[in-house]
Chain A
């Protein structure tokens, strides 16, 4: 069910370089990084708590949980929604940790040129031979939403990576 409607807003006319028809109230995405710490609760029981990684110490070998929260406030449904997140420098993607409800998750081992589902990504070795990419080879992750976003929709996608 895809209706094609041409909407030309004044704002778009002011930016002729942008050929898109940008509507007001689009997708907003917010990235959060957290680490898990073990703490003792009031009853003296050990529990795992997530804390803001930007406000604590992160050491080599430790795992960071990245979560991208999105909201949509446009009037008309947003289609072809693709969230991209390069694996940050100095980090290694941890296999099987990318998640996102209602999304198709793909990976790239060539900085986003080509994508494939987990285990089907190839990478070229130094000797020019193609081989199957390991999770540690992944450079980019993308989540393709399977359904359009309606006004007020919100959700999140996540992955974990380890500091080298």
Chain B
């Protein structure tokens, strides 16, 4: 029995999947740069005669820019299950701009391969290479495991979905291991390069472009740009690739098919009888298993039926297989499988066993 074993991550891609979603709901904060004017008026009478109402001055407040970003992952803990050599596996993150101006962000995929102790995702594997893609443009690989970055703008109140895309490395990988990635969004000024900071700055908002006061108001994330300093204009969240090896299960049963006295009617397991063996393999894992090979070595008291057996009707395998086992794979029906008998050793191979699928393999042997 050869289960598919595992080893990890080769390519890492950061993809911007959706852009600039519209602000949601009516609760959107007042746009930065908005002027709020207030004017009072007074009406009165003198000697019984109503006087012309008097208005006050109008004092106008300019709404400043509260920078507030939240990064979340939509992956359920402990993260998507992966197997070795799996391609295009995604980690999902959402960046929400809770600020009141359009905000440019530096997006970083931070590989937390080592030293992760506080995450809901525990354990780690080593990243050997990673490639960042922003809007279809790949940048260089990340052999050193350093943070990968690109930039994106999110409208006030809007969200941006970001994925980290990876290819798992070849086997072996440790079952149950994790590779944790944090996605970090760090606020940038309108110029797209300078980090946002408290103080006066040019702001791009729904109310236009203006110079207004910026106040960092973000909360603390797991892996922010400035550790322990909140607000720092950045927020982050973690997800992880979770190695779940497909441990296939196998069971074997036998029943007399034909004996020299009773034939196929209520056959007994007596010398000279033909036994039919049923091997059931199931794949409870989250991904497909390929090239599942079943090997069975007959005891010396049995002789393989190397010709073209007639299979019992209950198994429905009326496929003529000479010197081979026959298998019923849920997704493909009955077929002859593997290289068949070599002496007393049978080799049967299931090309693909999908997640949750079961294959039934039949072969026959006679009792000496």
Contacts and interface: CB of A to CB of B under 8 A. Distances in A.
Contacts of B41: 29, 83-85
Interface in B109-144: none
B37 A88 contact: yes
Interface in B38-72: 38-52, 54-66
B218 interface: no
B353 interface: no
B272 to A, nearest CB: 87
B interface, over-half SS? strand
B46 A79 contact: yes
Given A29-B41, A83-B40, A90 B30 contact: yes
A31 B45 contact: no
State which size class the interface on B falls in: 35 or more
Given A57-B64, A164-B30, A31 B58 contact: yes
A59 B63 contact: yes
B49 A7 contact: yes
Nearest to A80: B45
B30 A163 contact: yes
A20 B64 contact: no
Contact of A74 (B46, B60, B66, B217): B46
A30 B56 contact: yes
B273 interface: no
Nearest to B200: A57
B34 interface: yes
Given A66-B38, A90-B36, A33 B59 contact: yes
B212 interface: yes
Nearest to B212: A57
Contacts of A31: 38-40, 56-59
B29 A54 contact: no
Contacts of A22: 51-52
A77 B30 CA distance: 43
B215 A57 contact: yes
A163 B42 CA distance: 24
A84 B42 contact: yes
Contacts of B56: 29-31, 68
Contact of B40 (A3, A23, A57, A85): A85
Contacts of B50: 20, 80
Contact of A79 (B36, B40, B44): B44
Given A4-B47, A7-B47, A54-B61, 13 more contacts: A7-B46, A21-B47, A27-B42, A30-B57, A31-B39, A58-B61, A60-B100, A68-B56, A77-B46, A78-B46, A83-B40, A88-B37, A164-B30
Please name the 8 residue pairs, one residue from A and one from B, whose CB atoms are nearest each other, closest first.
A57-B213, A57-B64, A60-B29, A31-B56, A21-B49, A68-B40, A5-B47, A81-B44
Interface of A: 2-7, 18, 20-23, 26-33, 53-54, 56-61, 64, 66, 68, 70, 74, 76-86, 88-91, 149, 163-164
